[in-house]
Chain A
Amino acid sequence: MSEDTVQVSLVVNGEPVTRTVPVRQHLVDFLRTDLGLTGSHLGCEHGVCGACSVRVDGRVVRGCLMLAAQADGAEVVTIEGLDDTGEIADLQAAFVSRNALQCGFCTPGMLMTAAELLAERQQRSREEIRTFLSGNYCRCTGFHAIVDAIETTLAKRLGR
């Protein structure tokens, strides 16, 4: 039938990676422990908090709700990769200037999710931004400054 481990080949932040992983290991444990990419955080480990958000094949997903085994053939981008490409440099600057983080635990997930909203390049109300972020928990800021930062970045990108 099947083994306890499986070989996976995927692209992580632009680099091809081949590893043998336990079949029960989820994607974020693989990224953190096997690849040392500790920017993706593990909060609840059951899909509620959003701290583990990563981009898989172009879309933001819960890294704890996907097995590493399932990432075979996938293109994965973590917060480290997103930072490297400069795709969200403006958003990161806005997070700093609006004080959109305190402890920073949720921030990688917030940025991953906000990156998807920004990439859609649609005008969004504050309420819509909040709805888009509803799957990401921040327990420090009360979200206000996070919404400020995203709203400001979106407005700049849309040239308003």
Chain B
Amino acid sequence: MKAPKFSYVRAESVEQVLELLERHGDDARILAGGQSLMPTLNMRLSQLRLLIDINRLQALAGISLQGNRVRIGALTRHVEVANSALVAEHLPLIAEAMPHVAHVAVRNRGTFGGSIALADPAAEMPACVLALGATLVLQSVIGRREVAASDYFQGLYETARRPDELLVEALIPVPRVSSVSVFKELAQRHGDFAIAGVAFHLEIDAGIVADARLVYFGSESKPTLARGASSAIVGRSIDDTSSAAAASALDADLSPMSSPHGSSRMRLHLQRVLTRRALAMAAERARPA
């Protein structure tokens, strides 16, 4: 189908976007990569009065190291994140997740911030920023505010972003040298929406897990830090027993959604399977070479 009628503004500055958001709020929608918004427009699932195209705003793009944090601008395209030496060096979790983000043509256009702003429950980047303890920066005419990823994702496509705010960047702490990360997901076909997935970030000290952030996505309404599973593995070495303990803690941590792609029970099972596989891989990666 064809998109419905809307007004269109090609924004020339961040200030202009913020003023338009201030004035139009929920009636306006930001067009970044458009890889999720355009399908819903073409299918007439989205209704909006004003489309604000931010693709000219190069101030919102780019990856840089700022002290001990990596700044990824909201308009940075997935392909740039995937090709970034900085990301490969400091954020291996995101580098490992990137090939799972849709398909080549979508990664060439879709943006890092767009994925986080939309908060699709099957999306990879929201899970990664949550696992890495990132800070998300929101801007409005009033000013900037920083929101921890753990407070940002609130529900199905629901985030802490107010209608007058623009997501401008993510600030991601550079993990310690002793940390290990693993990303895995299951989809029916490469690049399709995940039916279950994990983004794990662990601190491993002399074979013992000092800290763990086990994040689950695809099955839940939002990326979910599994507190029970995470604490089940802390203070222990990764082996069959501790992995099984983490996997069974998921009963209380998760409440998977049912869909034609899998029942709640099946998805819980898949998340347990991914937990064991990902922890085994974490143990392998933590082993001194």
Cβ of B105 and Cβ of A113 under 8 Å apart? Answer: yes
28 contacts between A and B (CB under 8 A): A2-B9, A3-B7, A4-B5, A6-B10, A23-B6, A24-B3, A24-B4, A24-B6, A45-B1, A45-B2, A47-B35, A53-B105, A59-B109, A60-B105, A60-B108, A61-B105, A62-B35, A62-B106, A62-B109, A65-B39, A69-B10, A70-B31, A70-B34, A113-B105, A131-B190, A135-B102, A135-B104, A136-B103
On chain B, the residues within 8 Å of A23 by CB distance are 6-8, 51
Query: Once the chains are docked, how many angstroms separate the CA of A135 from the CA of B41?
Result: 20
Given the interface pairs A46-B43, A131-B190, the reply to whether A65 lies near B8 with Cβ below 8 Å is no
Which residues 167-214 in B have Cβ within 8 Å of A in the complex?
A: 189-191
Cβ of B105 and Cβ of A24 under 8 Å apart? Answer: no
Given the interface pairs A1-B9, A2-B8, A47-B38, the reply to whether A24 lies near B2 with Cβ below 8 Å is yes
B150 sits at the interface (CB 8 A): no
Cβ of A26 and Cβ of B8 under 8 Å apart? Answer: no
Binding site for A on B (CB under 8 A): 1-10, 31, 34-35, 38-39, 41-43, 50-51, 53, 55, 79, 99, 102-106, 108-109, 189-191
Contact with B along A57-79 (1 / 0, CB 8 A): 00111101111011010000000
Given the interface pairs A45-B1, A134-B103, the reply to whether A69 lies near B38 with Cβ below 8 Å is no
On chain B, the residues within 8 Å of A60 by CB distance are 104-105, 108
Known: A23-B8, A132-B104, A135-B106. 12 other contacts (CB 8 A): A4-B7, A6-B10, A24-B2, A24-B3, A24-B4, A50-B103, A50-B105, A61-B108, A65-B34, A66-B38, A67-B38, A70-B34
For residue A111, give the distance in angstroms from its CB to the closest CB of chain B: 13
State how many residues of chain A have any CB contact under 8 Å with chain B. 35
On chain A, the residues within 8 Å of B53 by CB distance are 67, 69-70
A-B contact count (CB 8 A): 101
For residue B129, give the distance in angstroms from its CB to the closest CB of chain A: 24
Closest to A117 in B: B104
Query: Once the chains are docked, how many angstroms separate the CA of A47 from the CA of B108?
Result: 13
On chain B, the residues within 8 Å of A53 by CB distance are 105
Cβ of B42 and Cβ of A64 under 8 Å apart? Answer: yes
Query: Once the chains are docked, how many angstroms separate the CA of A132 from the CA of B103?
Result: 7
Query: Once the chains are docked, how many angstroms separate the CA of A157 from the CA of B79?
Result: 24
Query: Once the chains are docked, how many angstroms separate the CA of A65 from the CA of B105?
Result: 10
Closest to A4 in B: B5
On chain A, the residues within 8 Å of B38 by CB distance are 26, 46-47, 64-67
A34 sits at the interface (CB 8 A): no
Query: Once the chains are docked, how many angstroms separate the CA of A25 from the CA of B5?
Result: 9
Closest to B3 in A: A24
Query: Once the chains are docked, how many angstroms separate the CA of A130 from the CA of B55?
Result: 31
Cβ of B34 and Cβ of A45 under 8 Å apart? Answer: no
| Contact partner, B5, options A24, A45, A59, A64, Cβ 8 Å | A24
On chain A, the residues within 8 Å of B191 by CB distance are 131, 134-135
Closest to B9 in A: A2
For residue B193, give the distance in angstroms from its CB to the closest CB of chain A: 11
Closest to A127 in B: B190
